[in-house]
Structure 1
Amino acid sequence: MSDVASQPSRLSSIAVLTSGGDAAGMNAAVRAVSRSAARRGIDVYAVHEGYHGLVTGGDLIRRMDPAETDGILHRGGTVIGTARSREFRTREGRLAAARNMVERGIDALVVIGGDGSLAGANQFRQEWSGLLAELVDTGAISAEIAKAHPFLRLTGFVGSIDNDMSGTDMTIGADTALHRIVEALDALHSTAASHQRTFVVEVMGRNCGYLALMSALATAASWVFIPEQPPAEDWPAQICRHIKADREIGRRHSVVVVAEGARDRDGNRITSEHVRALLEEGLGEDVRITVLGHVQRGGAPSAFDRYLATHFGYLAVERLIADEANRPPELIGLQNNRVVTSPLMDCVAHTQQVAERMNSRDYDGALRLRGRHFRESYRITQTMQQAAPRPVTSDRHFRIAVVHGGGPAPGMNAAVRAAVRLGLNHGYTVLAIKNGFKGLRNGDIQEMDWIDVSGWVSEGGAEIGTNRYVPEHPAAIAETAEQIAAHHIDGLLVVGGWAAYRAAHELHRHRRQYPALDIPIVCVPLTVNNDLPATELSIGADTALNSIVVDVDKIRQSAVATRRVFVVEVMGHDCGYLALMGGLATGADRIYLPEEGITLDGLAADVKALAERFRAGKRVGVIVRSEGSDRVYTTGVITSLFQKEGGQLFDARQAILGHVQEGGNPSPFDRVQATILTARCIEFLSEQLESGGRASAMIGFQGGELRFTDLTRYPELVESDVQRPVEQHWINGRELAVVMRD
């Protein structure tokens, strides 16, 4: 016979707390926990001021209605507060916390914090039965209460800007912090160039160099110091020589990024002041320090942090509901572009191993533990920071060309910059084809040098030009082949969107007819629409999403005062990626996608549901519609319908965001990934050229890994009558959008 006392009662209440340092996205996570639990009929208690609130109890632990989470998605920090609690580290403090929970019928906890906060929660879970037994012995709670809560359900995820936790590729808040750092570095680059000056910038990260490394890669910093890879013994002389070499080739400024945990190979700290003094003496010029400090934590969360935190919060509730066996606690994280769970304490132990490796000066081991993406980014940064390409002794000389196709997308310039510098570093001649495939047909081709692409990493648009021209007719193919032969192009890097892929495939399929086209071709996905085959994500989409988020945040502010519904139209052609992800990141009430279409019955139901919410006190509504959702039910028609049916409850307005989504400087993610994908493609071309191969491919994110797919397969991977791929992994987020809107 089973022991009834050992079985938990049906989960009826969940507590959620934020602990440790604040991180942008925590509010999105709290909102997701509240709404996901409410949909399951579960009460949520918000624990204010972290573990201090759990120990203190009283009004610091109070029920949270889902309506209370309206309007917090876009806010930085944490509205329920966070604090480090010495009391919770004592048994007496944990006794008080356990009593405060069970007296409210709570035996499930979601913890959002760093590794210390999560480890403390695990200790609390392990002691739970003993704590309750002691509370019964002292008469603080009844035996019946203790029997009703035999164990503590626990799950958690990391809210930290440092991105230093094993078990997840990204922690909540890291992407937003990277945005803040990159914005500051972009601004410093302009003022530094004006005065021909060097800036030393100190960034956060504790003992993890993620923020320093990625910001350096995303802003073309001259030098970066990270804890995982201390510089060589003679680094003071090296850095001075390096910056002098930059000056000699015409670079007017330098930015040196220093991670707060940076050390030399003897374990001594490398401080921003130390670097400043050394450079002033070695360069004989003015050097300034900028310590970004806590500004890196603040501000509205990025689109990615909003979505990631929302997904984490949703899964946290689902895992707590499924926990019927008192199994060890899980960490919810992002691995290979999938939200997954891992044993919490295994992740904590693995995280601590990195610190142990660095303390023992096993820096190569620490770098390995950070993962392949971190190592690859470090290697590429080292190359991109050079003042000139390395000398190459090979007798074989190849010529590779880079061309854009499709609409402009943020990250195109970063990709060309990477192609030029990495290609030159291989000893190749790199050619830039101006004005897309039309320019290739016309022979508008320029040889590029190292300094030609200086500063391009942060620039939006496409410096070498792009258009949607596709050489489909026989004459166009023949003329294109003639130009490729005339310019002795041995390999082609195609960077762009739908038209770029079509054009690349057209050349590839005519390779037997025209020997000049029988060359390796590789495609890099760059389009805001995220509608390309062989990849789950396209470069440029992240920047577009952040643009949407910024605009919709402003729209919400304007609508609150007037009780208004806005129908926001976003780009995407036949793909609803921007609409779905933009809707999730902005808390949209309804989202219309081309993949689902729009019906009159559905619109009527949506009008009715929104009207009921306005009667209950709602003040602003946002509906996101992808531009290709329906030919009849346009944004204007939907706006008119809501305006008519809203009556005295609300009025309706439309906002068509348009091509602003394609503009602006690329986000840190798009800069870094454009560089990394291009680096992989240069390696692909190099392998083909050096071996005499003629394979052509499309690179893309598949299951979180970067993989190459044969370009010959292009037709079978796209739908025949619409502009989108057959498989779209992101569509799985539709269920999450339904949960969050209710």
Structure 2
Amino acid sequence: MPSDEWNDDSRDFTDINPTPSLPDGRGVRIGILTSGGDAQGMNAAVRAVVRSALSVGAEVYAIFEGYQGMIDGGDGIRPFDWEDVGSILNRGGTVIGTFRSKEMREREGRLKAVRHLLHRGIDRLVVIGGDGSLTGLNLLRNEWPGLVAELVKRGDLAPETAREHPSLMIAGMVGSIDNDLVGSDMTIGADTALHRIVDAIDDLASTAASHQRSFVVEVMGRHCGYLALMSAVAGGADFVLVPEQPPEPGWEDRMCADLKAGRKAGRRDSIVIVAEGATDRQGNPIKADYVRQVLIDRLNEDARVTILGHVQRGGTPSAYDRWASTWLGYNAVHEVLTATPDSEGRVIATRSNRIDRISLVKAVADTQRVPDLIGDGKYRDAMRMRGRSFVEMDAIFNELAAPVRTIPAEGDKRIGIMHAGGPAPGMNTAARALARLGISRGHHMIGIHSGFIGLAAGDLSELTWEETEGLTGEGGAMLGTRREVPRTQDLYAISRALEKNEIDALIVVGGYSAYDGVHKMTTERDRYPAFRIPTVCVPASIDNNLPGSELSIGADTALNVIVDAMDKIKESGIASKRCFVVETMGKNCGYLAMMSGLAAGAERIYLNEEGISLDDLVADMHWLRESFANGRRLFLAVRNENASANYTTDFLARMMEEESHGMYDVRTAVLGHMQQGGSPSPFDRLLASRLAYHALNLTDDELAAGHDGAWFIGVKEGHLRPGRMDTMPTLVDPQHRRPRDQWWLDLRAVVRTVSDELRS
């Protein structure tokens, strides 16, 4: 998580390698610490580091209270075993504590730290923290030989110990809810913080609408406007102030004009988001109370301030902050095990749904350069440092919040919007973005109800600006959706409906049925000239099984629903010895099963891609009995609904029960359609808005050029890329209705390492 802040620049991604196998770690001792501000997902990273290292024979020492634990020594540095990190995936904060150590800034403090590390034979460190923590890590690495020599000279360290540990090997991970590391898509904790903020905005919007009230919401972000900007888009806010782009003089007039326009267009509430580090162009802070007073004085409105504060740091981590942090932790262990004395210090980061090892020195320097650019008035450069998609999201927000027009232009194009396939949270977000962006550009946006069936029946109506109000956070599909793919006999009716309603272009948001239907229309263009219009498919499916896109609208929300359910299921068995077998949706694609199992800490995951064999089950049953005999109290298996036609969820549970011999009992949970429901997650709202923006841009380009291409659009290695519909058959496994190439299968090595499978 999925990552949404794609820095889709011109970089070559060939250096981003698949998940590697871990080398032998016997004889190696690794220290791990968390430092600086806490962030949800740190515990998942700690768990992954500990278990990944133990799985290859390395020893792991947890360093408590950040760098201060190294300085104090004693119980501040303790060996950690497998069970020490059990049941921490769903916990916020950090179980090993964090501290901003002033003593570590002094050479004498660093001498103490090195002495305590070497007395335990530790010469490899994994640090999870912000840019200050990583700067301290790199300084310790650079000073290590000199510090060791000084300790020997003082008589505090044996010369032979110094010879055995001539250098410090390091790996950093960024734990920061601000998402402020330049070069990384998402830092640990940022996705969860966005959940907290967007939930608050949704709640505030409902009470604000009841009273026709304005709210000014202050969010964290001293030098980085990620949380402010993304929550403004995902929460449907009216105005946003971010540090990277201080507003021009007179911004108060523009803000009030935007809020007035929103009310005129039918809004009953107004939301302004302010990053805590927002300033004007003279460097003066812009505080939420000042914004509130402006609204009261100029709009004569009842305005209130909500400062979210540390609630943004707290609570249960999101599904993304669990599985991504686990992936990062696994790769951090690989980094310190394979590092040499000459290796450059690296930060392990997510980039384009892949793991990247970026230069620690460069990443920190680039991150610390952004405030300088802002101070020098180089706002465009500061925005660019955040990545192209940050700039793009700013453009999307401005077009949605301050449209050129809120009624279509006479004589402009008529663009149809339709859903098809199963419902996916975020479909409404996409429809709203398409409708509002299209209207702002002068188009008539035509809503097609109930998918291809509704199109054939001529069930179409023009969408207005007011109709799409409040759809950002609503689940379901306002336009309705159906799974039926048009039959040959339906094509004439569909053709007539397009002609009668003078549809100039068509954008279809949906799953496999949407792609199949559009592909069929494309192949019938010679018979039905009405199909010769620009057509674009936007991926929306909780199954995440669509061609040309590594991520689909709705999948992240479904993952969060599943992981939340699994947390509750596991809690229900805490007082007994119990096995749970949980069945997820996904049809023949195991994405939901794999990623939710990784995020929830499942011991076994059964996928359609791998199948289930009798030999596998026999081995699982032997291991399960032995595991419970050795003290296990809880076991979680996750099964993709189509993992096997015969080895069903009920069969697996009955087999486990039969083989338990009374040591444990077994329960099943088939989560069903709850996975398709609920308010879309912040990530799915952002993905839907961004895909809609690109789909409409592509449609506009096709119309302007007089072309009639049929396209699908999606995320591929971090880029939003279009693909021609006639290439779709080459990208999919037609028997299983899923992409031939699925990036997430690479995480199977991580699952095997951090689960208990390897303890047999």
Are 2:450 and 1:428 equivalent residues in the alignment?
no
Please give the alpha-carbon distance, in whole angstroms, between the structure 1 residues aligned to 2:408 and 2:367: 40
Map 1:159-198; keep pairs closer than 5 Å.
159-198=175-214
Q: 2:471 aligns with which of 456, 460, 464?
A: 456
Are 2:74 and 1:58 equivalent residues in the alignment?
yes
Are 2:529 and 1:515 equivalent residues in the alignment?
yes
Q: 1:445 aligns with which of 455, 460, 472?
A: 460
Please give the alpha-carbon distance, in whole angstroms, between the structure 2 residues aligned to 1:114 and 1:610: 40
Please give the alpha-carbon distance, in whole angstroms, between the structure 2 residues aligned to 1:600 and 1:362: 64
1:152–1:326: 8 Å Cα contact kept in structure 2?
no
Please give the alpha-carbon distance, in whole angstroms, between the structure 1 residues aligned to 2:424 and 2:405: 28
CA displacement, residues 195-235 of structure 1 (integer Å, 9 cap, x when unaligned): 11001100001110000000000011011111111222111
Per-residue deviation at 1:77? 0.3
Cα distance change on mapping 1:397 and 1:387 into 2, 3 Å? closer
Map 1:594-633; keep pairs closer than 5 Å.
594-633=608-647
Residue matched to 2:679? 665
Please give the alpha-carbon distance, in whole angstroms, between the structure 1 residues aligned to 2:737 and 2:139: 52
SS in 1 for 2:30: strand
CA displacement, residues 494-527 of structure 1 (integer Å, 9 cap, x when unaligned): 1000111101111111112111001111110000
Residue matched to 1:318? 334
Are 2:389 and 1:373 equivalent residues in the alignment?
yes
1:17–1:112: 8 Å Cα contact kept in structure 2?
yes
1:636–1:654: 8 Å Cα contact kept in structure 2?
yes
1:11–1:321: 8 Å Cα contact kept in structure 2?
no
Please give the alpha-carbon distance, in whole angstroms, between the structure 1 residues aligned to 2:556 and 2:750: 19
Per-residue deviation at 1:21? 0.3
1:472–1:506: 8 Å Cα contact kept in structure 2?
no
Cα distance change on mapping 1:612 and 1:51 into 2, 3 Å? same
Please give the alpha-carbon distance, in whole angstroms, between the structure 2 residues aligned to 1:11 and 1:341: 25
TM-score (norm 2): 0.95
Task: Tell me whether 716-725 or 39-48 shows the greater mean CA deviation.
Answer: 716-725
SS in 2 for 1:241: helix
Q: 1:274 aligns with which of 275, 282, 290?
A: 290
Are 2:754 and 1:715 equivalent residues in the alignment?
no
Residue matched to 2:7? none
Please give the alpha-carbon distance, in whole angstroms, between the structure 1 residues aligned to 2:283 and 2:509: 43
Please give the alpha-carbon distance, in whole angstroms, between the structure 2 residues aligned to 1:649 and 1:146: 51
Residue matched to 1:241? 257
Aligned length: 732
Per-residue deviation at 1:609? 1.4
SS in 1 for 2:738: coil
**Greater RCO between the two (CA within 8 Å, min separation 6)?**
2
Per-residue deviation at 1:648? 2.5
SS in 1 for 2:137: helix
Map 1:98-497; keep pairs closer than 5 Å.
98-386=114-402, 389=405, 397-473=412-488, 475-497=489-511
Per-residue deviation at 1:696? 1.3
Please give the alpha-carbon distance, in whole angstroms, between the structure 2 residues aligned to 1:243 and 1:313: 44
The residue identity in structure 1 corresponding to 2:89 is L
The residue identity in structure 1 corresponding to 2:413 is F
Per-residue deviation at 1:591? 0.1
1:404–1:466: 8 Å Cα contact kept in structure 2?
yes
SS in 1 for 2:573: helix
Please give the alpha-carbon distance, in whole angstroms, between the structure 1 residues aligned to 2:265 and 2:134: 50
2:408–2:443: 8 Å Cα contact kept in structure 1?
no
RMSD value over aligned CA atoms? Answer: 1.3
Residue matched to 1:3? none
Please give the alpha-carbon distance, in whole angstroms, between the structure 1 residues aligned to 2:431 and 2:408: 21
The residue identity in structure 2 corresponding to 1:469 is E
The residue identity in structure 2 corresponding to 1:527 is S
The residue identity in structure 2 corresponding to 1:266 is Q
SS in 2 for 1:313: helix
TM-score (norm 1): 0.97
1:249–1:387: 8 Å Cα contact kept in structure 2?
no
- Unaligned stretches of 5+ in structure 1? 1-8
The residue identity in structure 2 corresponding to 1:670 is D
Please give the alpha-carbon distance, in whole angstroms, between the structure 1 residues aligned to 2:711 and 2:437: 19
Residue matched to 1:553? 567
Please give the alpha-carbon distance, in whole angstroms, between the structure 1 residues aligned to 2:740 and 2:26: 41
Per-residue deviation at 1:646? 1.4
Per-residue deviation at 1:607? 1.8
The residue identity in structure 2 corresponding to 1:286 is D
Per-residue deviation at 1:610? 2.1
Please give the alpha-carbon distance, in whole angstroms, between the structure 2 residues aligned to 1:592 and 1:690: 49
CA displacement, residues 23-80 of structure 1 (integer Å, 9 cap, x when unaligned): 0000000000011001110000000000110110100100000111110011000000
Task: Tell me whether 192-201 or 228-237 shows the greater mean CA deviation.
Answer: 228-237
Cα distance change on mapping 1:391 and 1:410 into 2, 3 Å? closer
Q: 2:605 aligns with which of 591, 597, 600?
A: 591
The residue identity in structure 2 corresponding to 1:462 is A
Per-residue deviation at 1:472? 2.4
CA displacement, residues 553-605 of structure 1 (integer Å, 9 cap, x when unaligned): 00111111111010000000000000000100000000000011111211121
Please give the alpha-carbon distance, in whole angstroms, between the structure 1 residues aligned to 2:519 and 2:665: 48
Please give the alpha-carbon distance, in whole angstroms, between the structure 2 residues aligned to 1:498 and 1:250: 35
CA displacement, residues 250-305 of structure 1 (integer Å, 9 cap, x when unaligned): 21111111000011111111100000111111111211110000000001100101
1:167–1:331: 8 Å Cα contact kept in structure 2?
no
Residue matched to 1:92? 108
Are 2:515 and 1:501 equivalent residues in the alignment?
yes
Instruction: Give the % identical residues.
Output: 50
Cα distance change on mapping 1:385 and 1:201 into 2, 3 Å? same
Please give the alpha-carbon distance, in whole angstroms, between the structure 2 residues aligned to 1:578 and 1:571: 7
Please give the alpha-carbon distance, in whole angstroms, between the structure 1 residues aligned to 2:483 and 2:75: 60
Please give the alpha-carbon distance, in whole angstroms, between the structure 2 residues aligned to 1:319 and 1:237: 52
SS in 2 for 1:207: coil
Please give the alpha-carbon distance, in whole angstroms, between the structure 2 residues aligned to 1:352 and 1:511: 55
The residue identity in structure 1 corresponding to 2:54 is A
Please give the alpha-carbon distance, in whole angstroms, between the structure 1 residues aligned to 2:424 and 2:683: 13
Cα distance change on mapping 1:392 and 1:639 into 2, 3 Å? closer
SS in 2 for 1:679: helix
Please give the alpha-carbon distance, in whole angstroms, between the structure 1 residues aligned to 2:539 and 2:655: 38
The residue identity in structure 2 corresponding to 1:543 is T
The residue identity in structure 2 corresponding to 1:109 is L
The residue identity in structure 2 corresponding to 1:271 is K
The residue identity in structure 2 corresponding to 1:162 is D
Please give the alpha-carbon distance, in whole angstroms, between the structure 1 residues aligned to 2:26 and 2:341: 13
Map 1:28-67; keep pairs closer than 5 Å.
28-67=44-83
Q: 1:683 aligns with which of 697, 712, 720?
A: 697
